[in-house]
Amino acid sequence: MFFSMLLNNIKINIRNKELIGWCIIFPIVLGTLFYAGFGSIYDIQSTDPIPAAIVYDSEEGTGSEYRAMIEGVLGDIRYDDGTPMVECREASPEEADRLLDEKEISGYYVVHSLTDMELIIRSSNMKTSILSAILTGYNQNMDIVAKGLAKGLTEDEIRSAMTIGDYVKEQNLGGDSHDPYVAYFYNLIAMCCLMCIQTSLHIFPNIRASRSNLGKRHELSPGSQRVIMLASFLAATLVQICISQITLFYLICVLKINFGGNTGLIILTTVIGTFMASTIGLAIGSLRLKQSVLESIALMITVGGGFLSGLMYGDIKWKFELDFPIINRINPASVLSDAFYHLNINHGGKGYNYSLCYMLIVSIIFLTAGIIMSSKKSSKSL
């Protein structure tokens, strides 16, 4: 009976267009949007110099030696492949304004003096952010130059004191992926696993006479409620595991997101995460509450948990880490994304083990509760 039920329940889950659509399409669309959003950063990193202009508006600024120094500093700022990051052209204030209006340049620097330069931009985006970061770096470097000259340092000594910042990416302390935006994709995978809460939420309503007509049919049958429940649970979990693997495959193989770490362990983590989510859904579904209330609770854990783990706003997790770290310890989405993070940064370690243990303990508790709750008994009302 179990295998027949399992097979039929897998069919039921796979053919549930709404569920499958939501669970597969949503993470893939969100992943693609993330990629499109962050993709511009990667594009900038690899190829395009940012078009900009320089306007010299003082006598000091028009001196050829200073001009050479300024252009030399800006020209030294390059991408990893050696391409200059900024492509500057000299312009009058009016011409620079026109170029900016016509969006031929992303912004222009106005040089008031060697140590006083300002940036004019019309919009806020990644390119203007980089121009702004360059300006900050330039001002810092010019300060060093001015102080160095005052101290009588040689040109080489001054150059060595100057810093050319990494304006577009951060460097991780360890691990395989050096991409700071990968955390968003960790959260996405975590949310994809947690969607199994929605799938397994319907298991109890379908086997309880007081909850649905299908439940009546199941309770009227001689079939063991526990066997029916476990078959439905396993089917929901297996289908959702496949969905998480499809999403993972899409991110790794299609979008080429570098998760770092061991792929086998990443897959194992998604499997355990999905299993945990399935048991949470099972436990929520067993509560004697209105279906709409149960669905709200499930949504709160899935989407709310995703939000708290930084899916929509990356810094929120760190704010909680400072003030209410317990939230990050118990929020399934945070625990799951932490597991991926530890896999990437530390190749596992204590943090990863904690996450895995937490997920397994939660799964065992909720699954046991589900099994206990799934006995047949007469209801007071239907």
Partner 1 sequence: MAETVVKVTNLVKRYKELVALNNCNLDIKKGEVFGLLGPNGSGKTTTINCILSLLSYDSGEVEVFGQKMRAERNDLKKRIGVVMQDVAVFDELTVYENIDYFCSLYISDKATRRQYVEEAIDFVELNDFRKFFPKKLSGGLLRRLNIACGIAHKPELIILDEPTVAVDPQSRNKILEGITELNKRGATIIYTSHYMEEVEQICTRIQIMENGKGIALGTCDELKQQIKNTENVIVNMKKISDEHLDGLREINHVYDVKFAGDRLMIKCSGGKHNITHVLEFFDKNDIHYDRIYSELPTLNDVFLEITGKELRDKE
List of residues contacting partner 1 (CB under 8 A): 1, 4-5, 8, 11-13, 15-16, 209, 212-214, 216-224, 228, 375-382
Min separation Cβ 16 and partner 1, Å: 6
- In degrees and rounded to multiples of 5, residue 26 shows phi and psi of -60, -50
Nearest to partner 1 of 160, 213 (CB atom)? 213
Which of 177, 212 has the CB closer to partner 1? 212
CB of 238 to partner 1, least distance (A): 16
Smallest separation, CB 366 to partner 1 (Å): 24
DSSP assignment of 352-369 equals HHHHHHHHHHHHHHHHHH
DSSP character for 293? H
Nearer to partner 1, 131 or 228 (CB): 228
Cα–Cα distance measured from residue 160 to residue 298, given in angstroms and rounded to the nearest whole number: 57
Cβ closest to partner 1, residue 215 vs residue 332: 215
Nearer to partner 1 among residue 240 and residue 334 (C-beta): 240
Q: How far is the CB of 376 from partner 1 (least distance, A)?
A: 5
CB of 281 to partner 1, least distance (A): 18
Cα 306 to the chain's mean position, in Å?
Answer: 10
> Which token pair is 366?
């909720």
**212 vs 245, which CB is nearer to partner 1?**
212
- Cβ proximity to partner 1, 106 vs 199, nearer residue: 199
- Which tokens is 45 given? 């990193």
Cα–Cα distances (Å) from 252 to 35, 135, 196, 267, 273, in that order, read: 12, 36, 21, 12, 18
* Pairing, β 86-90 against β 116-121: unpaired
Q: How far is the CB of 52 from partner 1 (least distance, A)?
A: 58
Angstrom distance (rounded) from CA 306 to CA 313: 10
DSSP 3-state assignment of 211?
Answer: coil
Report the nearest approach of partner 1 to the CB of residue 206 (Å). Answer: 9
> Whose Cβ is closer to partner 1: residue 3's or residue 65's?
3
The answer to whether 202 and 285 are in contact (CB under 8 A) is yes
Least distance (Å) from partner 1 to the CB of residue 212?
8
Residue 106 contacts residue 131 (beta carbons within 8 Å) = yes
Tokens of 106: 């992303």
First to last CA, the chain: 27
How far apart CA 156 and CA 114 sit, in angstroms, is 19
Residue 224 burial class via C-beta count within 10 angstroms: exposed 0-12, middle 13-18, buried 19 and up: middle
User: Do 244 and 189 contact (CB within 8 A), yes or no?
Assistant: yes
Task: Please compute Rg for the chain using Cα positions.
Answer: 29
Considering the complex, what minimum distance in angstroms separates the CB of residue 237 from partner 1?
17
Name the residue nearer to partner 1 (CB basis): 187 or 286: 286
Q: For residue 229, report the phi and psi dihedrals to the nearest 5 degrees.
A: -65, -45
Give me the residue label for tokens 């106005």: 110
Residue 199 beta carbon to partner 1: minimum distance, rounded to whole angstroms:
13
Complex with partner 1: residue 151 or 380, whichever CB lies closer: 380
